[in-house]
Structure 1
Amino acid sequence: MASKGAIVRLRKEYNALQKEPVPFILTKPLESNILEWHYVITGPKDTVYEGGFYWGKVVFPTDYPFAPPAIQMITPSGRFTPSTRLCLSMSDFHPETWCPGWNVGTILNGLLSFMVEETQTSGSIKTTDEQKKKFAGESLAWNKSNAKFVELFPEL
């Protein structure tokens, strides 16, 4: 069960993201659980991810913002192992580097920045640019084959 502080903070962040969305990223919490947010990153232009739609989730701890979330990408991307927790400075792998001033927007911006670079970490994989481009081209059809994705993001 989320703390009152976590609920208030996450609702505030959701409202802020509705007014000013993060470029290339659509995000929303589950209606049934404010601690579980789903996102779709649209592959940025002039990257190997261009044209791709990458679905993932961020699971916040009950004491957020005082502890970091778990982050994973569900869609095959050629960059991350699908449905595997990612080791990032703003994830639950590194509570020592977590900053309570970070928010959903900064977390997802950080994920996007990490996605388009080549640094390896737990949860990342190494593939060719051609493989990444292939995954980008197949990503939306792959996502649409998942009922949960269709339920969460009917606009896509």
Structure 2
Amino acid sequence: MSEEQLKSQFSCRPLKEIPEISVRTYLVYTKEPYLKEYICSNFEDGRSKNLEDIYMIQCSFFDGSLYAIHITYSNYYKPGWDNFISKTIQKYGEGKKLPNGIQWNDKETILIIEKENGKQWQNYGEHYMVTYLDNLLYSKMDKKSKEKSPDF
């Protein structure tokens, strides 16, 4: 999906821009009350859709192409860790263990499932985060970022 397609299909809010490396992140869905106007809508009847168990969805673009989708689950969604990732393990194998999660990398896509403890949002509590990254675009973005950053 291109950045223009996202903006034409969803009501979304720009969150962060890093112009020197052509990265833009958009809030596509949230249950945050003060951001209600930005909940994804633009369904045929114009209604917003409530995604059960999902707190927030963000999409990040590099040079106008989607390179990352970040899904934050609601803090009341409390399945056991094994139940949450068992189907993913069945499909992709054991993956690489992370301190608070697991990662799969098939050279095209990186999938990360993590258990967060509220460090991103004050008092949000423990919750799950799922991130999908386009490996090729992510590598290009990372390379461009390193080229633009000063040597220390």
Tell me, yes or no, whether TM beats 0.5.
no
Please identify the structure whose Cα radius of gyration is greater: 2
Calculate the TM-score normalised by the size of structure 1: 0.28
TM norm structure 2: 0.29
